[in-house]
């Protein structure tokens, strides 16, 4: 298989039901947002996640708490998952991420992987 061209390097699949645009981002019927940049903290036990929530409420940064409390491999990058598109994560996570205001830590929520809080840093 030939190597990818530089312009295709970061191209994503179109969103479900969407058409690919010239940049490969896809289009989205919900306000044109096709990707969100998100950090998360994931814990198997709700009690541990609530410890993380309380630390953030007491003034600790999301990034530092992600490093100390998250049980996900993204902990090494302060919980950064990067830009995700619709369909990249489980539905509950995607719905929260796309509906969460930028810069506001989410309320805790549960998926099949455990308990999460997220911080959306950008939308495009």
Which of the 8 DSSP states describes residue 121?
E
Q: Give the number of residues written for the chain.
A: 124
Q: Is the dihedral of CA 14, 20, 21, 24 positive or negative?
A: positive
Delimit the domains of the chain by residue range.
37-123
Lowest mean pLDDT among 7-11, 42-46, 94-98, 106-110: 7-11
Q: With contact defined as beta carbons under 8 Å apart, do 26 and 12 qualify?
A: yes
Least confident of 18-22, 30-34, 70-74: 18-22
CATH 3.10.50.40 fits 37-123, yes or no: yes
Distance from chain centroid for Cα 56? 18
Query: What confidence tens digit (pLDDT) does each residue in 64-110 have?
Result: 999 999 999 999 999 999 999 999 999 999 999 999 999 999 999 99
Q: What are phi and psi of 66, to 5 degrees?
A: -60, -40
pTM, two decimals, is 0.74
Residue 7 has pLDDT above 80, yes or no: no
């Amino acid at each position: 298989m030939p190597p990818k061209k530089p312009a295709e390097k970061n191209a994503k699949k179109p969103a479900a039901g969407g058409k690919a645009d010239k940049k490969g981002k896809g289009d989205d019927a919900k306000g044109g947002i096709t990707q969100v940049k998100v950090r998360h903290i994931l814990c198997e036990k709700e009690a541990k996640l609530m410890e993380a929530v309380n630390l953030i409420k007491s003034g600790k940064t999301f990034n530092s708490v992600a490093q100390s409390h998250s049980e996900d491999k993204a902990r090494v990058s302060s919980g950064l998952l990067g830009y995700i598109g619709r369909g990249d994560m489980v539905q509950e996570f995607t719905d929260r991420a796309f509906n969460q205001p930028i810069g506001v830590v989410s309320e805790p929520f549960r998926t099949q992987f455990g308990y999460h809080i997220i911080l959306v840093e950008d939308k495009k």
